[in-house]
Amino acid sequence: MSIRFYNSLSNKVEEFQPLEPGIVRMYSCGPTVYDFAHIGNFRSFLFADLIRRFLEVMGNDVIHVMNITDVGHMTDDHLADGGGEDKMEAAAKRLKEDKKSGKVPEGAIENPDDPYQVAQYFTDAFLEDSRKLGLKIAFEYPERIPHATQNIAEMQNMIAKLIERGHAYVGPDHAVYYSVESFPEYGRLSGNTLDQLREGSGGRVNEENQSSKRHPADFLLWKPDQSHIMKWDSPWGMGYPGWHIECSVMARKILGRDVIDIHTGGEDLIFPHHECEIAQSCGASGEAHFARFWMHARFLMVEGEKMSKSKGNFYTVRDVLGGKVTGRAVHPAVLRYELIRSHYGSNMNFTVKGLKDSAGAVRKLNEFRKSLEERSGGAVETIDNSHPVLTEFLGALSDNLNIAGALGVLFPWMSGNHPNAAESLGVLNRINRILDVAPMEHHQEAADESTDEFDPVALCKGIDEARSQKDWARADDLRNQLQSAGYEVRNSPEGTVATKQLV
């Protein structure tokens, strides 16, 4: 069965095959941790999760990486090189108010003036929300979810390389800029031309610092700034990195390749962020591509407008689950279903009616599952992709993630006769490895688990240590502990890795 995805780079639906058969290397732009992520952000994150789970059921190992943007960046990041107020500083101000008014729980954050504490507070909240919504990658923190602030040296190395290769320069203001004219492909992803950008292209390049830049679209790689809330020493002075460089660096470092298979994000990231990532990664590697497939989720809208932090028209996962939208608590599986059930290539309008419909669909799936379990007496057949229902379900998803088509296979099948309950349960299980909504219970369990003492990362380190000391019994014991907690344990070039098996 061939897989076809829409590639924003070619503006076409193309056949997808990973560079290395059976292994997909995929990078997703993650959250900025200066506030709670809203459900629009989660539409983009769940879109990436859906791609991943689908590719896994199709027989691939998916190595998925997503960053945490915890370096303080500017409120005007939609411009090519930022500007405005520092987001982390703004968050500190807000948190101080929230602490006074009791909105931040006692002891949750000791010092809002410490940007690392602010970032960790929102990172923890993000992971908790993500686990509730079944985002697989959230169970792979921190190995697959690196923090920008922990990769500053690597960013400096890439910047030095870009200077060496003639793609970057130090301006008269001592900041380091990427020279867009040094990279003839600049604009290929977004369709912008350098001439349009020179004219300001509808306010999409920053008017600040223009005298220091060779071209108005040149973007910041390193900004010396003694007064910045987060700063590091560098060959270009004490300061901080530009926003775009972190993704180029962390994708390369953790995926271990100059060319990766898939890069995802929301549609607003196409320009400047992803355009700049391509310029940096290809500029440094000399390769023709950074990601072979660029895939973007269209926006979640509220009453015709993009849901966004800056517009203030947003709901967080907590708002929705806690009943702020519907007046009643919403199960995480219902919100997950609601956010994945419409095609990523179209805008999605968020409505109470939509949530109610999703609640109905998830209830039906769970009731179906229960009735099968009762009838099968605990027996489940192992089903592979050649089963006719899976062939149809996966066939729809292979067609550029046609989720409506896939659900249009699932629900009529559920309404039919099921003489062999164990077989049908096997089919449902396999489908649920992608949808992850039935059974519903584990979303809550997953969230609860995030607060217990079980530390898979420490256990993996323990295994590596035991092995290096040839203490095989201890290594086995630690592996058993991970496995009985539902983790799949694998060797990787970086050592032992434990992946939570969600379904």
User: Using CB under 6 A as the criterion, which residues of the chain lie in contact with ligand AMP when the complex forms?
Assistant: 29, 31-32, 40-41, 43-44, 265-266, 268-269, 297, 299-300, 306-308
Contacted by 176, from ligand AMP, Zn ion, none: CB < 5 to 8 Å by type: none
Q: Which stretch binds Zn ion (CB under 5 A): 32-40, 76-84, 239-247, 302-310?
A: 239-247
Q: Which is nearer to ligand AMP, 126 or 186 (CB)?
A: 126
Q: Which residue has the tokens 């497939």?
A: 293
- Select from ligand AMP, Zn ion, none the partner in contact with residue 401, using the beta carbon and a kind-dependent cut-off of 5 to 8 Å: none
Nearest to 432 by CA among 375, 477, 488, 372: 372
User: Toward ligand AMP, which CB reaches closer, 41 or 432?
Assistant: 41
Q: Binds 72, which of ligand AMP, Zn ion, none (CB < 5 to 8 A, cut-off by type)?
A: none
Query: Could you tell me the smallest distance in angstroms from the CB atom of residue 1 to Zn ion?
Result: 31
d(CA 146, CA 53): 21
Beta bridge partner(s), residue 177 = 169, 220
Question: Binds 300, which of ligand AMP, Zn ion, none (CB < 5 to 8 A, cut-off by type)?
Answer: ligand AMP
- Name which of 5 and 42 has its Cβ closer to ligand AMP: 42
What separation in angstroms does the CA of 320 have from each of 325, 355, 437, 451?
6, 10, 17, 21
The CB-of-247 to Zn ion minimum distance in angstroms stands at 3
Instruction: Kindly state whether residue 29 participates in binding Zn ion, applying the rule CB under 5 A.
Output: yes
Q: Name which of ligand AMP, Zn ion, none residue 266 binds, using a CB cut-off of 5 to 8 Å depending on partner kind.
A: ligand AMP
Sequence-ordered list of residues with C-beta below 8 angstroms from that of 293, at least 6 positions apart, any chain: 5, 7, 9, 14, 16, 261, 262, 263
Q: Which of 162, 247, 401, 427 binds Zn ion (CB under 5 A)?
A: 247
Q: Least distance (Å) from ligand AMP to the CB of residue 359?
A: 21
Count CA atoms within 13 Å of residue 96 on its CB side: 10
> What's the min distance (Å) between Cβ of 332 and ligand AMP?
18
To ligand AMP, the closest distance from the beta carbon of 32 in angstroms equals 4
Kindly report the CA angle at 302 between 296 and 308, in degrees rounded to 5?
Answer: 60
What whole-number distance in Å separates Cα of residue 270 and Cα of residue 247? 13
Number of residues that bind Zn ion (CB under 5 A): 2
Give the residue with the Cβ less far from Zn ion, 130 or 432. Answer: 130
Of the candidates 85, 40, 83, the residue with the CA atom closest to the CA atom of residue 204 = 83
Contact 399, 405 (CB under 8 A): yes
Whole-number minimum distance, CB 9 to ligand AMP, in Å?
17
State the DSSP code for 381: -
Spatial separation of the C-alpha atoms in residues 473 and 479, rounded to whole Å: 10
For every residue of 168-229, DSSP letters joined together read EEE-TTS-EEE-GGG-TTTTTTT---HHHHHTTTTTTS--TTGGG-SSTT-EEEEEE-TTSS
Question: Interacting stretch for Zn ion, rule CB under 5 A, among 57-65, 153-161, 193-201, 241-249?
Answer: 241-249
- Toward ligand AMP, which CB reaches closer, 260 or 503? 260
Residue 44 near which of Zn ion, ligand AMP, none (CB within 5-8 Å, type-dependent): ligand AMP
* β-sheet bridge partners, residue 153: none
The residues binding Zn ion (CB under 5 A) are 29, 247
